[in-house]
Amino acid sequence: MLSEVEIRAIAKTIVDKAKKTAKVDQGSLKRSIAYTYVRGEVIFRELYYGQWNDNSKLEEYANQLMPNGVKWKIIYTKLGGEEYEVGRTRQGRTMQKKAVSTALRNSSNNIKKLIALVRANRKKDEGKDKT
């Protein structure tokens, strides 16, 4: 098993290579490519520009260079703030899914609207009973 220092060195190499292949010359893409190491999992992050299909080769380098047995994922953030993940499971299968944070925000807003509607209806019903 690799140590944390070795995993961080591999992740840094992947990030450096991806920054060199970034296709957008505004500089914000290169600044957005980064990694964090949390509880044995490497999380790569990148700002995603949709008009350039693969704006850097971060995913390709992560697939090639990350050793088996190390859990990792890539979180792309689109310009509107929407996030989605790309990663590989321990068995080697690739995955792509929407980030949980956006789903929670949407559902919690709907729940808050529902609670407010129920409270408003209760107040209406209480007002009718008193007359």
Q: What is the pLDDT of residue 53?
A: 57
Question: In sequence order, what DSSP letters do the residues of 43-95 get, joined into one string?
Answer: EEEEEE-TTSTTSSSHHHHHHHHSPTT-EEEEEEEETTS-EEEEEE-TTS-EE
Q: Are 44 and 75 in contact (CB under 8 A)?
A: yes
Structural domain that includes position 40:
4-98
The answer on 109 and 85 residing in a single domain is: no
Q: What is the pLDDT of residue 77?
A: 80
The answer on 60 and 8 residing in a single domain is: yes
pLDDT mean for each 10 residues of the chain (131 residues): 86 89 71 86 81 70 85 80 67 60 53 82 73 52
**Reduced 3-state DSSP string for 5-19:** HHHHHHHHHHHHHHH
With tokens 């850097």, the residue in question is: 56
Model pTM score:
0.61
Domain count, the chain: 2
- Nearest Cα to 17, choosing from 62, 54, 49? 62
The answer on 84 and 121 residing in a single domain is: no
Q: Which helix (H) or strand (E) holds 98?
A: strand 94-98
The answer on 80 and 57 residing in a single domain is: yes
DSSP 36: E
Residue 114: beta bridge partners?
none
> Do the bridges between strand 71-78 and strand 41-48 make them parallel or antiparallel, or are there none, so unpaired?
parallel
